[in-house]
Amino acid sequence: MTTTSSVITLNVNGEKHTLPVDHRTTLLDALRERLDLTGTKKGCDQGQCGACTVLIDGRRVVSCLQLAMAAEDREITTVEGLAEDDRLHPVQQAFLDLDGYQCGYCTPGQICSAVGVLAEHAEGWPSAVTGDVRPEAGAPALTAEEIRERMSGNLCRCGAYVAIVDAVARAAQAPDQASAVSAQDEGSIR
Amino acid sequence: MKEFQYQRAGDVRGAVALLSADPEARFLGGGTNLVDLMKTGVERPARLIDIRRLPLDRIEPTGDGGLRLGATVTNSDLAAHPEVRRRYPALAQAVLAGASGQLRNMATVGGNLLQRTRCAYFADLSKPCNKRVPGSGCPAITGEHHNHAILGASAHCVATHPSDMGVALTAFDAIVEYETAEGPGELPLADFYLPVGDSPHRETALPPGALITGVVLPPVAVAAHSRYRKVRERASYAFAIGSIAAALDVRDGIVHDVRLAFGAVASRPWRARAAERLLAGGPADADAFAAAADAELAAARPLADNAYKVTLIRNLVVSELATLAQEGTR
């Protein structure tokens, strides 16, 4: 290896891949061009559209601004790693059932981002539209307004936002999601 | 992107030593700004020293009742922290108002303070920019500047600092802690950013080779009663065109304590000390709030296309202080 490339091991969807990379390689390019995991999409390539969203150690990030080197030994989950055998992840199933897309290009990023949103909400994280961020106020209900704010890092140029919000709300109600939507907000979403 | 060497720092002293050994090296935190600038060629480091795995990712109480935020704490963890939300709510709100969920999971406290301006001329290598190429000129002054500075700018640069987090930290008298090869040091955030003057390329008072290790929030009682409000051109995921961090303690109708800082108006988060001085000990009513805003904004020197910011900030001061005063009397 030269001084500007290294051999690294990436842990993707539970599988370890050892590969030489030029240090300039983003995680996005490593996934798509080197590991043939093309579910993760390149949109703007500058952190503004969210199409390349993946999960690292369970948290959503944009893989276009993540250097592959810096992701070494961390647990990377892409859209290909969400389903369990033939059973789709509840977020994937909700996007299918509610047509949370049109052309589909932004969809893998939307889905990975939504998986992150549900985990963040389950941990009680507030958002920019949460009225009272103090912990005493309790976790905010996952209303449509909360979903729109939390998903704002994912652009959809087809404009499928209405169905995307519905799909995230539906997934939040799935039995195996820790996060739950109260009956009261359910009415405000659909 | 220019080729670069990459090293992962094992400890703080090692990180500082690696940086000192190579003048073309940069620290890599979350990378949300640096990697982007490397792609466009604005930043061309020969070596990256990855500091994300240093043990600087904790939020801890200080002995005197404040909080120490480690430099590699992510924006997400900062905004989610119960003590931050309870004692400095405007700081949590400011962080949540910035970027997207994905970027907040990557970006760090230290990197937030050191992020570069989003002035389009700074990012465009085909254009002059005194911040990027000293002495080359500032096309923004006569060009596209609707979101540029109204306070503290110079004839050499009118760029703004883009941070939301920094606005709240400035309002609460935060102190930046750093490490150099010579040992540790600290800088009040109020003195952290240098005046623009004729050297807009020199942005901070950090000594050469310094690594930010943390930010200390002193105990500020009034901060528990604070708000952050951000105005932008779309509802979410955009930089501010004007923002305010405000904290207010009113007792018997009189302002007992007040903190005010503005964002997106200057090369640094702008602490509104003139306004604070005028308000302290006086009545907590709309006339007083407006007079205080006017006192601070008397120094404003708007450009042809950004005078709206003077009105915007004035209105934000009046509305946010009125909201805080009302909440305080409930």
A58 Cβ contact list (under 8 Å, min separation 6): A75, A77, A116, A119
- Asked if A75 and A61 count as a contact pair (C-beta separation under 8 A), the reply is no
Q: Which of A122, A151, A152, A137 is nearest to B92 (CA)?
A: A137
Asked if A61 and A98 sit in the same domain, the reply is no
Residue A184 pLDDT greater than 60, yes or no: no
Residue A1 has pLDDT above 50, yes or no: yes
Query: Which residue in B5, B35, B96 is closest to A65 by CB distance?
Result: B35
* Residues forming beta bridges with residue A8, ordered by sequence position: A19
Tell me how close the Cα of B106 comes to any Cα of chain A, in angstroms.
Answer: 6
If asked whether residues A55 and A103 sit together in one domain, one would say no
pLDDT value at residue B330: 52
CATH of the domain at A165: 1.10.150.120
Domain ranges of chain B: 5-49, 221-328
Verify that A31 and A97 share a domain, yes or no.
no
Burial of A7 per CB tally in 10 Å (0-12, 13-18, 19+): exposed
* CATH number where A74 lies: 3.10.20.30
- For residues A99 and A165, membership in a common domain is answered with yes
Check: pTM over 0.90? Answer yes or no: yes
Interface test with B, best of A133, A142, A145, A151 (most B CBs within 10 A): A133
- CATH numeric code, B5-49: 3.30.43
Q: Tell me the nearest-neighbour CA distance from B322 into chain A, angstroms.
A: 17
Q: What is the pLDDT of residues B11-49, one digit of tens each?
A: 999 999 999 999 999 999 999 999 999 999 999 999 999
Do A145 and A104 share a structural domain? yes
Q: pLDDT (tens digit, 9 = 90+) per residue, A4-44?
A: 999 999 999 999 999 999 999 999 999 999 999 999 999 99
CA-CA distance, B110 to B132, in Å (whole number)? 21
Chain A residues whose C-beta is within 8 A of a chain B C-beta are 3-4, 6, 22-24, 26, 45-47, 50, 53, 59-62, 65-67, 69-70, 113, 116-117, 120, 123-128, 130, 133-136, 148-154
Same domain, A16 and A99: no
Domain boundary among A81, A107, A140: A81
Range of the domain at A36: 5-81
A95, A76: one domain: no
Confidence band for A177, pLDDT divided at 50, 70 and 90: low
Q: Which of A35, A57, A81 is the last residue of a domain?
A: A81
Do A184 and A95 have their domain in common?
A: yes
pLDDT digits (tens, 9 = 90+) for B132-151: 999 999 999 999 999 999 99
Q: Which CATH number fits domain B221-328: 3.20.20.70, 3.40.640.10, 3.40.50.150, 3.30.390.50?
A: 3.30.390.50
Closest chain B residue to the Cα of A114, Cα to Cα:
B101
Say how many domains are in chain A. Answer: 2
Decide if A59 and B97 are in contact by the 8 Å CB cutoff.
Answer: no
Same-domain check for residues A125 and A166: yes
Q: Which of B85, B105, B236 sits opposite A60 (nearest CB)?
A: B105
